[in-house]
Amino acid sequence: MSFPGQRELVQLSLAKLCADAVDWREALPSTTGAIGQDTLRASTTAERHRWIVRGILRALMLACLCSPAAAAPPENPDPRFTPWYKSLRQPGTGAECCGLADCRMVEFRRNGEGYEVFVDERWRLTRPYWARVPPEKILERPDNPTGRAVVCFTPEAGVMCFILPPQS
């Protein structure tokens, strides 16, 4: 899930990156005319390098564009929960559920298709919304010490982990 408008921006940026990098040969000089074979080979190599560098620079710019949207550290974090947050792993991959700054206690609701979590300005979103929780992102953690539902979320990746509150 991403915040409204960001998905389109990323898709446009990726489309431009791919369009520029996929067929760099179109920008090469024509083989007809008085250009010698060595000159053509040199210009082809130089042009190829330029397109590769441009593609890398665009990818880096895209990464920088997405990074400011990351969450700020939580206000007044409870240090007792830090080890538990660090123990959270993404289902299927075993990778960490992002950084501590991306995990928060949240409101959640169950609908006919599963769960949704309320993501808001704590993740530096322009508009809060209910984000669908993919079933494969739900962690079974009865040891949840917060007493509330917890989601690890970034605007770029969406919900990475979701932990239900302990059952009473």
Same structural domain, 39 and 102: no
Q: What is the pLDDT of residues 21-64, one digit of tens each?
A: 444 444 444 445 555 555 555 567 778 778 787 777 676 554 54
Cα separation values, 94 from 57, 84, 90, 150, 161, Å: 31, 15, 5, 18, 11
pTM over cut 0.75: no
Q: Confirm whether 1 is domain-assigned.
A: no
Range of the domain at 29: 6-69
Q: Confirm whether 74 is domain-assigned.
A: no
Interatomic CA distance for residues 57 and 26, integer angstroms: 20
Question: How many domains, the chain?
Answer: 2
Same structural domain, 63 and 121: no
Q: What is the pLDDT of residues 105-164, one digit of tens each?
A: 999 999 888 999 999 988 888 899 999 999 999 999 999 999 999 999 998 889 999 999
Q: What is the pLDDT of residues 3-18, one digit of tens each?
A: 444 444 444 444 454 4
Same structural domain, 92 and 159: yes
Last residue of a domain, one of 51, 69, 87: 69
pLDDT at 76: 63
